[in-house]
Chain A
């Protein structure tokens, strides 16, 4: 079971990680738009605040794991956004959370380019997040979690 959790999780986590990244050759500032932008604003105050919290959690995370922006549908009505962490290759769905954005904090994700400078990696990572992909993933999870009242 452990092997399935570690390798199955490893597969899912990385599949998601690649899905939400896209090259940014001109190093443009990226930000979400539409529904996801609105939800981030309503949950965290504004995009900047969300970015700071996510960055803080990612910088201070100890050991191997991931930090995620997830949808939690386990509430009375609708869903809410939350930042969550998982250790090693654990997948957020095991805790009922639906990830729409994730950063890999295993050292292998940044060591060759940044060595121990995780903060520089996180900074780089924000530049290659594809908010279109995040929005699509968000929509996909929502469809799978439609409540009866809809």
Chain B
């Protein structure tokens, strides 16, 4: 986790800052070609920064268990049972090809919850409109040192450190906005 935070996340932040600076210059110069060319770097690094900022809050050493209150009610509405949601999210996350994230997302359109997956560092809200509540990073850097290629074991274990208080707060905030 240390490496994940101090190296990977830090690199996204550094690269995002650099890309934003270049974007500012390109906009000032009216250089549309360069503006377009920078979009990829902004998506990668901006997404990487957004996603990891959520990830650290989503986890807690005192986490695990199940959510309560409003979030649990909504999970029952959209998935039937908590286990169903967990199984769906686990399956979708493990099935990500290459690098990416599994997400529990909130639809501002209909107030419902949905399991989704994104490739690379594509930010959930920026690319799909769904508000990210809970994310599971399945870039190999997230689990390789501890689990090697056994991604299913990592995804199974991460449920033990989910900070449901944080996920609930995101749900309530998303609903209110």
A residues lining the B interface (CB < 8 Å): 2, 6, 62-65, 87-89, 106-108, 111-112, 115-116
Most buried by A among B97, B119, B144: B97
16 contacts between A and B (CB under 8 A): A62-B40, A63-B99, A63-B121, A64-B98, A88-B97, A88-B98, A89-B98, A106-B140, A107-B139, A107-B140, A108-B148, A108-B149, A111-B141, A111-B144, A115-B3, A115-B141
Are B144 and A108 in contact, CB atoms less than 8 angstroms apart?
yes
Do A116 and B7 form a contact, CB below 8 Å, given A62-B120, A111-B141? yes
Contact A112 B99 (CB under 8 A): no
In contact, A63 and B119 (Cβ under 8 angstroms): yes
B11 interfacial by beta-carbon distance below 8 Å: yes
A6 x B139 contact (CB < 8 A): no
| Closest Cβ–Cβ distance, residue A91 to chain B (whole Å) | 14
Judge whether B8 is part of the interface by a CB distance below 8 angstroms.
yes
What are the residues of chain B within 8 A of A63 when measuring CB–CB? 98-99, 119-121
* Bound-state Cα–Cα, A85 to B142, Å: 24
Task: Flag whether B44 is at the interface (Cβ < 8 A).
Answer: yes
Q: Is B36 an interface residue (CB 8 A)?
A: no
Contact with A along B2-20 (1 / 0, CB 8 A): 0100011001000000000
Q: A63-B120, A88-B98, A106-B140 are in contact. Are A116 and B149 (CB under 8 A)?
A: no
A116–B3 CB distance below 8 A: yes
The residues of A that contact B144 with a CB separation of less than 8 Å are 107-108, 111-112
Instruction: Assess whether B145 is interfacial by the CB under 8 Å rule.
Output: yes
Query: How distant is A104 from chain B, measured CB to nearest CB, in Å?
Result: 11
Q: Are A65 and B8 in contact (CB under 8 A)?
A: no
